Chains A and B, each alone.
Chain A
């Protein structure tokens, strides 16, 4: 029971702190890659605190509602993750938040927000089936969708699911909204649609969305860590290397179109999933 409470607290409180820190490191490394000095590592927290102090300015009341629902659902999904719950359930709860964020973006009439919302839906459409297939792979190895069963494994999942790990990385790149998949909203000012579906979220509501995003980053990196959950060093190496690759990809790729993303990611992702799943079936 006490262990459960501690896990809930880790999920609810420590996760966003970790997510913010990752965002700070990300900015710093990106700056280094671009030969800039970059902001301090704590900058994401300063940004969020400043956003909370801004005046409330609302374009459509539904956005306020949606921002709150979004952060609730993302927080719940991370808590469920730390409670070692069911993978598919975690994905669905996370989708609940993601969908409401899109509905909030749709609720304003700004064309930037509208286009961004449509594109975000395509991003969700692209990564969701792939994540489900990754989970199926995990199920075929461990015989369960429950994280508690995965942690009981003695051999790292990465050994039996190498291709599915790459598939998960595609989903991670889309979820982090890194180039070449950053077309619904972006961190880079040179794109044709910059803040996209977050255009109309402002002030404290944008701060909530930002914290929600940290939760999501922790969740998806947590999913990555499951692939080498047998040792702490393994987790750190795997997640660290993966995230470094993400930053590198973000900096060397240009934004592509959604048609390209849907075609490319589904073809590659489904093909790799199929191959990896058939290996498992063959055994």
Chain B
């Protein structure tokens, strides 16, 4: 049974990817994607009932699994090398050749394959990741079906590139499942590399000059992560004689040289999660079609980095590495929140917010108390739903209004009320109580309060974060009132993922106490909170989740009722200092000519401008990363 489940979750998407690539009929492809999505969701839930487990699957086609892995990895690296040569990027070539040489030497001459230990290991952390990947991931793929049709219509391509696109989109889901379930870190590495190749292919999908440039940047940065990963594996094997992740975590406590591999793994995770100074690859990934961004950002890919940090967190608890990781994460949180404030490009705001939230997860892993780990894991869950939702909303909006600029979305409520409301709800779940992201942020803040520097970074960062979400939500509603708003038309495959994700974001927040006590608490070294009647409590603080939800929900219902009642009231044009003309949107200007009213939001270019800050943030971030690695050597 377990073999079948693992096969479906890890290799199933690869098979579906191959089908998508070779069967070039659009309806069959859509069917494959839908069927695979349902299958994955069901399988991930079934797998959950088996937890926790460690397992070694039998040889596949009578060849031991590790041979498959070696072949697969060489094939993968050679493919990447091909692209390195094709795009003539020297640094990529060097990194990949280094990886091939190091990996083959390691695999063929160093590792003793006769040693047996479980190849797959799953505790609740892995299974939470599997659930997110296999539920949010397929929803994004479903959204991609109508989206890509429109996208290609708009591009006017002669030959559809969708087979390749869907193949890689689906494949990444399998790779992510593999990554989070592997116990052998060589396996982990291979799946890590698959996500690198996948992101490269997806980012370069549109084949414009910028797309290719950004894809190559993503490739070399992720190869750097891969190289660090290999060095970490080799060092771990030299010092501890094993590639068993659980052994390594147990060995980390011995400190000294044992810590170096863990530091390099964290470094690899940070690059993958686009932490400062490596944020540029993820920002560049925004040129790709929206489903790509959603998949890379919310449920998968970047979460791989955060997962690695959380997975190995017990191994480096109480060390200098842990502290510097907390500072690095918190710094990224502050820096990206500041830069997001200066952005009017909606997708970029989302990108910065993703990097910031991942930074918060890294900070939690670094603080490394049970409270902080709880915050990190809950944040992974809640962020995945809300962020995937927001990306899909922006994608849908962009296809309707032809822009991703926040100022162009001004008053979008009058044109697309449904999507706008869903998007605003998504934003509210990202920043305000009683929703899950804020609950986790509260846990993170309380856990960080002993770390003065981390705390200051988080406090300023979270105020900046509230600012850009509130501004965006307000602008979406900024429409003249009075006329009846007609709901927009939307295809089933577009609406379904949006509704599922927004439902998930809200319902999971309501279920936060259950999530905590059933999923998170069992894997903590000591329980971080006592949960009673929906109240999270420990000596440090208390979060009255259910009472707050109850009161706010009553207020919300009454507010909706009052707003409905106010529809009967007399309406008026906006205040224009008494100089209004008959048209409510213009005032009487010089020569009695009507002048249209316009206003824009503040973006603080002169203070938080990207151009202005990126260099300095990269310098600081680089130094902090140097601190992290240097301190662990």
Contacts and interface: CB of A to CB of B under 8 A. Distances in A.
A107 B433 contact: no
Contacts of A266: 460
User: Interface majority SS on B: helix, strand, loop or mixed?
Assistant: helix
Contacts of A274: 452, 456
A139 B466 contact: no
Contact of A129 (B452, B459, B477): B459
B449 interface: yes
A40 B569 CA distance: 33
Given A85-B544, A95-B466, A106-B471, A133 B455 contact: yes
A56 B570 contact: yes
B627 interface: no
Interface in A56-82: 56-62, 64-69, 71-73, 76, 79-80
A281 interface: yes
Interface stretch (A14-22, A25-33, A111-119, A232-240): A111-119
Nearest to A118: B602
Interface in A103-139: 103, 105-115, 117-118, 121-122, 124-125, 128-129, 132-133, 136, 139
B477 A144 contact: no
Interface stretch (A86-94, A153-161, A174-182, A214-222): A86-94
B480 interface: yes
Contacts of B541: 86-89, 144-146
A270 interface: yes
Contacts of A262: 607
Given A95-B432, A145-B540, A89 B548 contact: yes
A122 B599 contact: no
Contacts of A96: 432-433, 552
Nearest to A108: B574
B333 to A, nearest CB: 12
A117 B555 CA distance: 23
Contacts of B542: 85-86, 89, 146
A106 B474 contact: yes
A58 B569 contact: yes
Contacts of B456: 129, 133, 270, 273-274
B575 A112 contact: yes
Given A58-B570, A65-B562, A89 B442 contact: yes
B560 interface: yes
Contact of B585 (A66, A109, A121, A132): A109
B558 interface: yes
Interface in B168-183: none
B569 A57 contact: yes
Given A56-B570, A113-B574, A136 B478 contact: no
A30 to B, nearest CB: 26
B540 A92 contact: no
A17 B407 CA distance: 41
Given A89-B442, A109-B585, A72 B555 contact: yes
B507 interface: no
A200 interface: yes
A62 B433 contact: no
A199 interface: yes
A61 B563 contact: yes
Contacts of B555: 68-69, 71-73, 76
Contacts of B433: 89, 92-93, 96
Given A109-B599, A110-B574, A128-B463, A140 B449 contact: yes
B413, B479, B555 — most chain A CB neighbours (10 Å):
B555
Contacts of A140: 449
A258 to B, nearest CB: 8
B575 A199 contact: yes
A252 to B, nearest CB: 28
B601 interface: yes
B455 A103 contact: no
Contacts of B554: 72
Contacts of A66: 559
A259 B604 CA distance: 10
Contacts of B560: 65
A99 to B, nearest CB: 5
A195 B464 CA distance: 25
Contacts of A125: 463-464, 466-467
B432 A60 contact: no
B71 to A, nearest CB: 52
B545 to A, nearest CB: 9
Contact of B449 (A58, A80, A129, A136): A136
Nearest to A76: B551
Contacts of A105: 474
B571 interface: yes
B567 A61 contact: yes
16 contacts: A57-B571, A59-B481, A64-B563, A65-B560, A68-B558, A68-B559, A69-B552, A87-B541, A93-B433, A95-B466, A99-B470, A106-B477, A114-B601, A128-B459, A129-B460, A145-B449
Q: Which 5 A-B pairs have the closest CB atoms?
A: A106-B474, A72-B555, A68-B559, A110-B574, A56-B569
Given A71-B555, A118-B471, A270-B456, 11 more contacts: A59-B574, A61-B563, A65-B559, A89-B544, A109-B480, A109-B574, A110-B576, A121-B471, A124-B463, A125-B463, A146-B542
